[in-house]
Structure formats: C-alpha cells, structure tokens
C-alpha cells in the first residue's frame, strides 16, 4: 500500500488512501493485542493512518468512501484520546493537551463533532492542573455551547469570570448550566450567585428557593443546600439572611460540619472586621467608638464558639479514614478557637486547643 500511495497512477486516487487508512487502522488494532505477531509491524501506524484518512477525504470529492473513511477518522481520534489519557495520568499536561487537540481535529473531520466532548473535557482538566487559564477557556467554552452536563465546566468558568469581575459572562455561564441541567439544584445556586454579585438580590433569593424546593424530600441534602445558601448570602454581606439559612440548616440536621463551620466562620470573620475597625479608630477619639467596636468584636467571637466546638465534635466522631480527609477542616476550626479563646482571655479552654494544634503539627512532620 505504501508503494501505491507513491505511484503516479494511484497516488491521487481516493480509493488508494481509503485502503491505506483501512490497512493502517488494522495494524493499529493488532498493535493493541499483546500476543499479536503483528504487534510491532509499524510503530508509526497512527500518524500514517491519520495522513491516509485526511488525504482520502481531500480526494473523495464525490464522497464515495466517506462512510468508511469517517469511521477511520473517528478511530484515529479515539486513539489520540487514549494516548492523551496516559499522559494525563503521568501529569504531562502540555503533551496531553496537544494530543487532545489532534483527537478533537479528527473527530471534527469525521463529521462527529459530538464525539470530541471527552477530549475537550480531558484537555480542560489538564489545563486546570497546569494552571493555564487561557487553555481552560479554550477547551471548556465549547462544552458550554454543546450543553454539557459536566458541573466542573460551569463551576470553573463561572469562578474565572467572577474573579475577573466579568459578572455578565459569569451569569451567562450560570444560565447555560440551568438550561443544560434544569433538574440540578447546583445550577439554581449558581444562578443565585450570579444574580447576587450583580446586585439583583430578589432574583438571587428566588433561585435559592427553587434549589431548596428540589431537595425538600432529602433532609441531609436539604440541610447541606441550606448551608450553601447561607454561604451565598454571606458572600454578598447579607449576614442576617446568611444566619437564617445556617440556623435553618442546623435545625434540619443539627449534627453536621458544613453549617456549624459556616456559621462559626462567618461570626469569626465579622469579629475580625470589627476588631480592625476598632484598631483604626484615632487614639484621640472621645466618642467611645473604640470600646463599642471592641465589645462588638468580643461578642461575635463569643457567639462563634459553640459552632466551632460542634464542628470539631462532628469530625472527632468520624472514622479514622474520614477524619484524615477532614484534617484541614479540623485544623481550621482549632486555629479559629485558638484565636477566639486568646482574645476572650479564656485560658483554661485555650490550653487543650493549643495542645491539639501542636499534636497535629508534630504528626504532620
């Protein structure tokens, strides 16, 4: 077949290249079989198969061989995808993306663009691991246009646009998510965040309610979503609404980490803000503002204690493996209590917290 591809009488015939594609794809199929006697017949079979299929498509103006040739193009695309997976597993992000590019091109050439979605997804994940924001956009945005169901795609793009201050594009991503996954409460929560960062609190609250209605028959999930709703309100400084959602979550499911930690962290952060405000009061101020802010800080610190204690208690009751997965959460709670007890001069309560922190540090060495 190599000779036919070079011969003057046959090198411009689509049929020749159709046979070449079939032969090299067959060689490739044999190469996958460990005990095949043709396993090492041609190590460069994939490149030759790709070239043959593309040349056949170029010469086949009447589309006489298009069905078989498109199947070969798809086969080549899938082979590049499989090689890209191995590179991903080896943390070779750039070469993984390069092979995904080839895979995407082959699927597009085959007329089966929908087959390229897994390659786009893999390339996007490689770009994320390589911290290549430009490439993330390049690979994930086409998936949004095709209405992917992948939550990761929407979350990643939403956060990128939000962090860049492009609230319009962030809301568009959320809207696409809601259209692609109308039954997914996560899409409603993303819509809520999108509306709220644009200042549309009413629409944001409506989306949160839609999300909550989708989990009303699942108490644990409903409690989790109420806590997420609390964090959403907290992110736009609506602390009263946030507190209501956190407390509603804890009423639904008292023994949990997310709402306890969320509520404790919110109170803690507000206490720190009050403390900063107090420290910025001019020394010669005689209005009593410093004392007022300092007392408000202490009150918020005090309110945070039971929530952090409950969050720690929840982690302590987990099995050993799950505790290990929650080590960073435990450390965050202990560090927060360490600050709180020190600020409130609760030294008896501070000692065991310090001891646990030191023990965790030693265990990590």
Task: Give the DSSP H or E segment for 252.
Answer: helix 239-252
Band of pLDDT at residue 3, cut at 50, 70 and 90: confident
Average pLDDT, whole number, for the chain? 92
Band of pLDDT at residue 70, cut at 50, 70 and 90: very high
Contact criterion met (CB below 8 Å) for 249 and 230: yes
Q: What is the mean pLDDT of residues 170-179?
A: 96
Q: What is the mean pLDDT of residues 309-321?
A: 95
Three-state SS for 199? Answer: coil
Question: What is residue 8's predicted lDDT score, i.e. its pLDDT?
Answer: 86
- Tell me the per-residue pLDDT of 143-159, one tens digit each, with 9 for 90 and over: 999 999 999 999 999 99
Question: What is residue 248's predicted lDDT score, i.e. its pLDDT?
Answer: 95
pTM for this entry:
0.78
Question: What is residue 246's predicted lDDT score, i.e. its pLDDT?
Answer: 97
Task: Give the DSSP H or E segment for 364.
Answer: helix 347-364
Q: Residue 284 pLDDT more than 80?
A: yes
Q: Residue 174 pLDDT more than 90?
A: yes
Q: Residue 305 pLDDT more than 70?
A: yes
Q: Residue 33 pLDDT more than 80?
A: no
Alpha-carbon gap, residue 59 to 12, rounded angstroms: 7
Residue-wise over 263-290: b if at least 16 C-beta within 10 A, else e? bbbbbbebbbebbebbeebeeeeeeeeb
Share of the chain above pLDDT 70, in %: 98
Question: What is residue 35's predicted lDDT score, i.e. its pLDDT?
Answer: 65
* Angle, helix 117-129 to helix 93-109, in steps of 10 degrees: 160
Q: Residue 31 pLDDT more than 80?
A: no
């Amino acid at each position: 077949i190599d000779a036919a591809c070079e011969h003057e009488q046959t090198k411009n015939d689509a049929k020749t290249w159709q046979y070449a594609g079939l032969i090299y794809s067959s060689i490739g199929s044999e190469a996958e079989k460990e005990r095949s006697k043709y396993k090492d017949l041609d190590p460069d079979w994939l490149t030759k198969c790709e070239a043959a299929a593309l040349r056949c498509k170029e010469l086949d103006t009447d589309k006489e061989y298009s069905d078989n040739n498109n199947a070969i193009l798809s086969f080549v695309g899938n082979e590049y995808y499989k090689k890209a997976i191995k590179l991903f597993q080896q943390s070779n992000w750039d070469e993984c993306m390069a092979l995904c590019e080839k895979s995407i091109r082959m699927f597009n050439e085959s007329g089966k663009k929908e087959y390229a979605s897994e390659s786009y997804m893999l390339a996007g994940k490689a770009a994320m691991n390589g911290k290549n924001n430009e490439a993330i956009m390049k690979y994930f945005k086409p998936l949004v246009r095709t209405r992917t169901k992948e939550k990761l795609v929407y979350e990643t793009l939403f956060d990128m646009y939000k962090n860049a201050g492009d609230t319009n594009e962030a809301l568009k991503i959320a809207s696409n998510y809601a259209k692609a996954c109308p039954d997914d409460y996560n899409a409603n929560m993303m819509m809520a965040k999108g509306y709220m960062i644009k200042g549309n609190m009413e629409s944001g609250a409506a989306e949160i309610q839609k999300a909550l209605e989708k989990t009303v028959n699942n108490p644990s999930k409903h409690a989790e979503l109420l806590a997420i709703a609390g964090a959403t309100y907290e992110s736009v400084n609506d602390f009263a609404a946030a507190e209501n959602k956190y407390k509603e979550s804890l009423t639904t499911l008292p023994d949990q980490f997310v709402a306890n930690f969320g509520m404790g962290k919110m109170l803690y952060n507000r206490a720190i803000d009050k403390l900063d405000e107090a420290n910025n009061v001019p020394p010669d101020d005689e209005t009593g503002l410093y004392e007022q802010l300092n007392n408000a800080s202490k009150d918020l610190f005090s309110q945070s204690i039971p929530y952090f204690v409950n969050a720690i208690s929840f982690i302590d009751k987990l099995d050993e493996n799950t505790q290990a997965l929650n080590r960073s959460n435990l450390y965050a709670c202990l560090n927060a209590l360490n600050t709180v007890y020190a600020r409130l001069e609760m030294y008896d309560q501070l000692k065991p917290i310090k001891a646990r922190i030191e023990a965790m540090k030693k265990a990590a060495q």
